[in-house]
Structure 1
Amino acid sequence: MKYKSVKSVCLAAFLMASHNAFAEESALQEGGKPLSVVTSDGKERTISDCKQFTFLRLNDLKISKINGLSDPDWIDAKNSLTGCYIDWYVKENKLTLDNTAKTPNIKDVLSHFPASEAYFVNKDEQAKIKKNSSGKSILEYTPSLKINDRKMISDKEGVSYSVWWFASYKNENGDLVSFITIGSGVTQGTQSILKSYIIKSTQGKIWDVKELDENSPI
């Protein structure tokens, strides 16, 4: 499947992943051109698809910078590269899609997601979260969050969360392995981010999760 832009990659490819993993040939382009990146060896390179991304990562290179994109396009590009990583992870670990799994609603997610993963806009807020989040869920940390359509929004804190994408797989032992992408941002302004996680366990009040990105171990 071909995509016209990075923006369409993010949503269309992740929706495709609910049926199967990212195709290696999935296009990673902005304005019809391959993504321009700087890798950890300091060289500027172009990436047209997930196969090229995986080749770089398997050769011990990481993505240091994505060039020439506006903030929204940069977020989409980063998210799409993370999707390529998830595709590699699924294949490498021989995971099989669980078609019976349903996407959890955002309230359930925030009731169990560690507060350490709460959205922040600056280092001061990040430090505050780190200091006060121990043992809490995001919803406990920000109790003013209320359901609004498919989002949870806190007018008091000026923050919003939504489930962007979710998929569950089973490994060869039949154990469930789930992935989720959460969108979060400010309610007054344009600052936002997409973060992807592997949900390692849903036992207990706080889920065991680990953030994934384009430079996660490969």
Structure 2
Amino acid sequence: MLLVVLSGPANSGKTTVWNRFLAKDTGYVGIPETEFELLRNMRARFPGNDDEYRAWITAPENYAPMKEESANRRYGHFTGLSASSGFSGKKAALFDRHFICDVGYCEMRNTQPPSNLLQYAKAISPDMVFLFEGPLEFTRRADTGRFMNKEEAMRLYGILKQSYERMGYLPIPVPEFNPDREKNIEARIAFIETNLRMTGLAKK
């Protein structure tokens, strides 16, 4: 079974495309982002204080355990689907971020990646990686627990690219095709479909 990854910095639009892609083509099974729930729970500890929350979550002694737990949840979701025949009859698994992405996030936060994260990154090898350019119109969306600012998101694109290249992968850049949000989403989906079709993966 082939593994396809959608990667990208905050507000690059990857999760929106991931959701739309899965809704459009039932031949794929999704491996979701596992960090949002953790971030929301942590954000609740600091009601109304974005700066205090950001300082706490970006401290390496807090950031590393969060990444460790997030990686365990993603790995558990993947292996659970495999054990329950959730991949049966599917063309591929579509990841909303891969373990290698989180290695890059740790690098940006000057944090040593947890050992389990490195283990999963090597054990579950993607066949194709799509790296979304961004960010688009930027919001911090504090209610989700997200804390990255626009400058960090722009820098993260290069870090993610390097993280994949260091592990032997060549990410396919997914640009912004249209200033109209809906048209851009559809164009990005079509771009991914075209690239998958070239591999013989997608239906013609």
Q: Shorter-chain TM-score: which interval?
A: under 0.3
| Higher percent of residues as helix | 2
TM-score by length of structure 2 reads 0.23
- Which entry has the higher C-alpha Rg, 1 or 2? 1
TM-score by length of structure 1 reads 0.22
| Higher percent of residues as strand | 1
